[in-house]
Every structure is written in C-alpha cells, then in structure tokens.
Amino acid sequence: MFLFKISNGQDTIRHYEFGSTLVTFNPIISPDYFAPDRPDIELINGLFFRYSKKRLGLRALLSYSENYKSYNSPSGWSDGFSGDLNNKDFRIGLGGQFSIPKHKDWLYTFIDLSYRNLFSTGHRYGGISGSNDKFTKTANGLDSFFGLGFKIKTFRNIYLSPESGYNICYKLVTSKSTSMTFGQTQKSNYTETIGNPYLKLHLSAKF
C-alpha cells in the first residue's frame, strides 16, 4: 500500500489517458432460475480512454467477451428449467465524469452510455411442458452505468481507477427456438430490462 498515493492534480499538462479495463465484477445479474448473459467476473476484456481537464472528463469504452454457463432451476420448483448458455458480448460507449473535490481529481462521479450487441446460443430442458429445445438469441440494447470512482496514482503516470455503481441494461431481443424432439421452430421478439450493481477497475497511462 505504501507504493500507492492519491493523485492530486500535479500532472496538469497531461490530459489524456489510455489503458484497459482489468476487472469487471457483475453481482446478482440474473434470477437463479436462468443463466445470466454475463459472467460473474470479466478479466481484461476492454479498452478505456479518458480526457480530463479541470473538473470535467470525457470517457470512451470498448469491450468484448465470450462466456459459457449451465444452469438449474431451484429445488422444489416443478416448472423450472435447466440448460446451458453461450454468449458473445460486444459493447462500445461514451461517458462523462465530474471531479467532486474542486482542485483534485481523486474522487469523481460518472455516467457511461454504451451500445450493446449480444449473441447467445444454448439449450433448455424440463418444465411442465417437458422442453427439449435449442435456441439462438440476438439482442441489441443500451447499457447505462453510473456511480462513483477513485483515481489512484501508482507510479510515474500510471493510474488505477476503481469504480462502483449501478448498471441498467435495456435490450430488444429476437429469439428462435427449435424443439429437438419434434423439429418445430418458434420465433419471438421481446424487450428485457435488467439492473444490477457493478464494480470495475481500470488501468491507464497518462500522456
């Protein structure tokens, strides 16, 4: 911990930062009866850019991840499903931030808005109807992530920025499901909104 010190605005001539999102922690992102469309933890899956001047900042984010997860319905639920889900998740967005201390930038509030494209494939089994289906889903949506962040200088012009906040994801979903027993295919379109807390850690170099 002695290697870290809080940035106090001493690098006033350097306004640009570029780096990576090291960790994204996604707690409670889906009910326990269905697989989530994001993993619990994402590691080094994104790029992060920030321009700061005085108390204001402009941010840009880009990320891609793939994850697989199987799921089972809670015990004692007669109409529960089990299955598996494989996701390919792309996000690109812009945001802004505002430093809360007047003359220092170590504490800030922020909001990021990102376009999200999600492609999922998987299987669903069980339920009262006895499902035995394979499916594909394509979703386009908007992520809105807002909260508080800390800017911590490690050494020279390298910074860590842990951020905590809440994310709301709104998606337009197109789904196609095919019965592996009868061969029948069903298509559907629907909207989905999910909100959950987020934790992120960015690593960036200032130049």
Mean local confidence (pLDDT), 104-112: 94
Find out whether 41 and 90 touch, Cβ atoms under 8 Å. Answer: no
Which amino acid is residue 115, in one-letter code? Y
**137-183 pLDDT per residue, tens:** 999 999 999 999 999 999 889 999 999 999 999 999 999 989 888 88
Instruction: Please report the DSSP string for 53-113 in residue order.
Output: ETTEEEEEEEEEEEEEEEE-PPTT-TT-EEEEEEEEEEEEEEEEEEESSSS--SEEEEEEE
Mean local confidence (pLDDT), 77-93: 84
pLDDT band for position 125 (50/70/90)? confident
The pLDDT, as a whole number, for residue 33 is: 52
How large a percentage of the chain has pLDDT more than 90? 58
Architecture of domain 5-206: Beta Barrel (2.40)
Mean local confidence (pLDDT), 197-204: 95
- What average pLDDT does the chain have? 86
Chain centroid to CA 166: how far?
Answer: 10
pLDDT band for position 3 (50/70/90)? very low
